[in-house]
Amino acid sequence: MRRVVITGLGVVTSIGIGKEEFWQNLIAGKSGISPVTSFDTSEHFTHLGGEVKGFEKIMNTIDEDSRSRYSRASLLAMIAAKLAVTDSGIDQVEPEGSIGVCYGITTGPIQVIEHINDILLSNGSVSNELACQLPSNSTLAAIGEEVGLTGEGFVLSTACSAGNYAIGYGYDLIRLDRAKIIIASASDAFSRISFTGFNQFKAVAPERCQPFDKNRRGMMVAEGAGVLILEDLEHALQRGANIYAEIVGYGLSCDARHMTSPSIEGIVQCMKKALKEASITPEDIDYISAHGTGTPANDRTECAAIREVFGDRYKEIPVSSIKSMLGHTMGAASAIEAVACTLAIKQGILPPTINYETPDPECDIDCVPNKSRSHEITYALNNSYAFGGNNASVVLKRFDGY
Amino acid sequence: MSADKEILITGIGVISPVGEGREAYWEALKSGSPNFGEITLFDTSPFMVNVAGEVRGFDPLKYIHKRHLRVLDRSTRFLVAASKLALDDAGLEITEDNTHSIGVSAGTTFGSLHSIAQFDRDGLIEGPKYVNPSFFPNTVINSPASQVSIMHKIKGFNTTISTGFCASLDALIYGADFIRLGRAEVVLAGGVEELCEETFTGFHNLGLLSGLKGGESLCRPYDRGRDGLILSEGAAVLVLESEEHARKRNAHAYARIVSCSNAFCSHGNGLFTNSSGLRKAILQALERASIDPGDIDCVCASANGGVELDRMEAEVINEIFGGKTPVSAIKSIVGDTYSASGAMAVSAVVGEIVQGFIPATINITEPEFEMNLVRTVTHTRITNALIITSDPYGNNTAVIIGGV
């Protein structure tokens, strides 16, 4: 079976655009949370979120015509794809075999729906250009403007774990020899519907996102995009590509129990499947990038599941949540977190969980509190969970030669 | 992993405007009986056209317990019901022992567009603090598929694919891959799309509906007088099963998946109708099946009466099949169910293989293209049928279904 490596990274987040800025801020423990500007929050319970700053500025790198043709979610993905492609150097070579795309999203077209609602409620008329942005597969066309796509194209809409689903299926397509390169991508734009819904669930923190803290009060709604260039190992070696890390397996599961309340059993199944597919045991995992939204229920459930899978070792394994810094970027989250895992493996540094103050006996893991630290990682596990009980965990491995 | 692991279709569930359940659906296709009519789901006075394919007389209580029903929107009800029909048809019982090897792969691009838009409108009109949180989960696109897992206790995996017109064929590809990779033994693969004011507005304003230029709304694929599609709704679900698993439980197989191909065609400037992706998808599917165009007994086209799309599809079909292979466009009967249309097509083709017929493409008075367009129902043996779909954003999918 073919091996799959990561050869390019692109991110657009509230703490930085491009892998360098993102990584520097990530290990510095910088927060990207600020007052929401996308819409008026005066009638909401909370007022903060993780919006991408300087969006207009980076838009200048994109063709003006495209800017009006695509939704914000598509444009975020487009920018991240452009960064990742440049980073990988695949734009400089004529790849053998095809380039495909797997794209994950939760609420991308939702922002278009919100825009349309605004127009309709003020008796305006909706342009065809805007209506055409509704299907989320329009983002594939947007990514296609930055990358010459010649292979398969999939959009995976599995809510807050969509990024991992996209990475996972991209990994499958290369292993099945149906692509040499996959643009594994995910994005979501800041959404009024998400902000309203999570607020009504009382799941949004008023001031800070504090995963695993006893006094945690919830998540921060955010936006962003993450793109990883997945490549057939042989192909990457042949063209002398810079290899960041390898993907060695993943697991999916469905709670089949409740739309919004997480289940220990479902998450345990998911992590176990990922370890099994990677042909490793719980002993081998050196770092877990947690789903870690900062809601009481998520973090408690995730820690209980980690305890069950990793047994005695659960307190030894560093488990951090970068959502403490950039907020919850929905479908993009696990793709951005996969980028963080990749860089953590490459640099040997663990990103921290910031805003951590008071230990919670129900979350007595090592959450890498507040400060990044050096740590050698061979295997990292990237967890993600979603509405609908759609769980996905991806195993990344340090690449140590052929 | 075995790349040539045989994948069988052992159950079919259809909720459509022309019938509920496979028998009724196949009968409507055989008799060429559409069921379009005036829209009752929402006020059509702002529109120039008021005809669509609504699912009428659907009783969700036949499939879903009353206590779950309140929060489930129309899309979700359709998909849960179609899944139940498919599972019952396959005689498959889901237990704690087999649930981890069963998955759901559903194609939908809008989930419930109405649920999403309504949730936002409630917030704007009533104020965000007065929105009912129990409807928030309906705003994720994966809500219909996830409710299928919740209602039927399916734990293996649950994935939603949103590639527009190609979504449910792509969901079938995804499901088949998961069986090939050994991640699942059984996958419920299908698709759903509901008719609602929001979707109808979009198709209407983009000028895609038949009847917008005056005259009757009529779906006339490949006809010189074609003027657009008739929007429709529904869900179709296929039970995909590894041959080994089906044999062990003595399951009856209707058909098998011979080969699949997804070819995304990057074109650089938004919406378009370009034939290169569809051509590639078809040729790749034939190559993967190691068969020639002459081995295809019938093409189930995605032609919907759209002026440009039908022309592009006709040209590609003629180029590859040389005008001899029978072509049938079931959207003239079923209407265009958008993301569900691929699963509707697979459900149709399985019936065609099992019962030996090619459905008529109805409403044709003057065919525009040199092709063997089937205009009256034809009774014939079908060994291999090709299903194609194409989306204006660049997705193209081809699937070959064969007899067992």
Task: Decide if A204 is inside a domain.
Answer: yes
Q: Are residues A134 and A234 in the same domain?
A: yes
Instruction: Tell me the DSSP string of A89-121.
Output: TGGGS--SS-EEEEEE-SSHHHHHHHHHHHHHH
Q: Are residues A211 and A270 in the same domain?
A: no
Task: Decide if A244 is inside a domain.
Answer: no
For A129, the 3-state DSSP assignment is helix
Domain with CATH 3.40.47.10 in chain B: 7-255, 258-402
Q: Are residues A74 and A187 in the same domain?
A: yes
Please report the ipTM that was assigned to this predicted complex: 0.97
Token pair 């980076």 in the structure block, residue: A58
Nearest to B53 by CA among B243, B332, B294: B332
Which residues between 113 and 172 in chain A have a beta carbon less than 8 angstroms from any beta carbon of chain B? 113-114, 116-118, 121, 126, 128, 131-132, 134-138, 140-141, 144-145, 147-159, 165, 169, 172
Q: Are residues A35 and A150 in the same domain?
A: yes
Average pLDDT, chain A: 96
Burial class (CB in 10 A: 0-12, 13-18, 19+), A60: exposed
Q: Are residues A202 and A342 in the same domain?
A: no
Task: Decide if A316 is inside a domain.
Answer: yes
Q: Are residues A202 and A257 in the same domain?
A: no
| pLDDT at residue A108 in the model | 65
| pLDDT at residue A104 in the model | 98
Q: Between chains, do B161 and A151 touch, taking CB under 8 Å as contact?
A: no
When CB atoms are compared, the residue of A44, A131, A155 closest to B161 is A155
Q: What's the pLDDT band for A400 if we cut at 50, 70, 90?
A: confident
Q: Are residues A103 and A232 in the same domain?
A: yes
Given A238, A262, A284, the domain boundary residue is A238
Q: What's the pLDDT band for A109 if we cut at 50, 70, 90?
A: confident
Contact B348, B333 (CB under 8 A): no
Q: What's the pLDDT band for A66 if we cut at 50, 70, 90?
A: confident
Given A238, A264, A290, the domain boundary residue is A238
When CB atoms are compared, the residue of A158, A200, A252 closest to B142 is A158
Nearest to A330 by CA among A390, A277, A252, A279: A390
Largest CA distance in chain A: 62
Contact A235, A386 (CB under 8 A): no
| pLDDT at residue A110 in the model | 86
Tens digit of pLDDT for each residue in B305-339? 999 999 999 999 999 999 899 999 999 999 999 99
| pLDDT at residue B273 in the model | 65
Q: Are residues A234 and A299 in the same domain?
A: no
Task: Decide if A219 is inside a domain.
Answer: yes
Q: Are residues A265 and A223 in the same domain?
A: no
Q: Are residues A312 and A228 in the same domain?
A: no
The answer to whether residue A304 scores a pLDDT higher than 50 is: yes
Question: Could you name the CATH architecture of B258-402?
Answer: 3-Layer(aba) Sandwich (3.40)
Residue A183 — φ and ψ, nearest 5°?
-85, 95
Token pair 């914000």 in the structure block, residue: A72
d(CA B256, CA B260): 11
Tens digit of pLDDT for each residue in A237-273? 999 999 999 999 999 999 999 999 999 999 999 999 9
Spell B111-125 as b/e; 16+ CB within 10 A means b.
bbbbbbbbbbbbbbe
Residue B145 vs residues B158, B170, B243, B397: alpha-carbon distances, Å? 7, 15, 24, 21
Q: Between chains, do B170 and A154 touch, taking CB under 8 Å as contact?
A: yes
Q: Are residues A253 and A224 in the same domain?
A: no
Q: How many residues does chain B have?
A: 404
Given A183, A209, A238, the domain boundary residue is A238
Among A200, A260, A272, most B C-beta atoms within 10 A, so best to mutate, is A200
Q: What's the pLDDT band for B404 if we cut at 50, 70, 90?
A: very high
| pLDDT at residue B122 in the model | 97
Which residues between 187 and 226 in chain A have a beta carbon less than 8 angstroms from any beta carbon of chain B? 192-194, 196-201
For A139, the 3-state DSSP assignment is helix
Task: Decide if A181 is inside a domain.
Answer: yes
Number of structural domains chain A divides into: 2
d(CA B162, CA A50): 26
Q: Between chains, do A159 and B142 touch, taking CB under 8 Å as contact?
A: yes
When CB atoms are compared, the residue of A116, A154, A172 closest to B163 is A154
| pLDDT at residue B265 in the model | 87
d(CA A127, CA A138): 16
Average pLDDT of span B99-112: 97
Residue B262, both tokens: 């997804």
The answer to whether residue A282 scores a pLDDT higher than 50 is: yes
d(CA A334, CA A250): 13
| pLDDT at residue B152 in the model | 97
CA angle, residues A346, A348, A349, in degrees to nearest 5: 115
For B126, the 3-state DSSP assignment is helix
Task: Decide if A74 is inside a domain.
Answer: yes
Task: Decide if A117 is inside a domain.
Answer: yes
Q: Between chains, do A253 and B163 touch, taking CB under 8 Å as contact?
A: no
Task: Decide if A243 is inside a domain.
Answer: no
Q: What's the pLDDT band for B268 if we cut at 50, 70, 90?
A: low
Q: What's the pLDDT band for B271 if we cut at 50, 70, 90?
A: low
Average pLDDT of span A271-299: 98
A100 at the B interface (CB within 8 A)?
yes
A301 at the B interface (CB within 8 A)?
no
Range name among A44-48, A236-240, B273-277 with the lowest pLDDT average: B273-277
d(CA A80, CA A192): 23
| pLDDT at residue B2 in the model | 44
The domain that holds A194 is classified in CATH as: 3.40.47.10
When CB atoms are compared, the residue of A113, A147, A153 closest to B116 is A113
Among the CATH numbers 3.40.50.300, 3.40.50.720, 3.40.47.10, 3.40.640.10, which is that of B7-255?
Answer: 3.40.47.10
Among B108, B259, B264, most A C-beta atoms within 10 A, so best to mutate, is B264
| pLDDT at residue B1 in the model | 41
Residue A114, both tokens: 């919100």
Average pLDDT, chain B: 96
Q: What's the pLDDT band for A90 if we cut at 50, 70, 90?
A: very high
Look up the domain containing A130 and give its range.
4-238
Q: Between chains, do A137 and B100 touch, taking CB under 8 Å as contact?
A: no
d(CA B315, CA B112): 34
| pLDDT at residue A245 in the model | 98
| pLDDT at residue A147 in the model | 86
Residues of A designated as active site: 160, 291, 328
Contact B294, B372 (CB under 8 A): no
Range name among A161-175, A388-402, B2-16, B119-133 with the lowest pLDDT average: B2-16
| pLDDT at residue A55 in the model | 84
pLDDT above 70 coverage of chain A, percent: 100
| pLDDT at residue B289 in the model | 97
Q: Are residues A189 and A310 in the same domain?
A: no
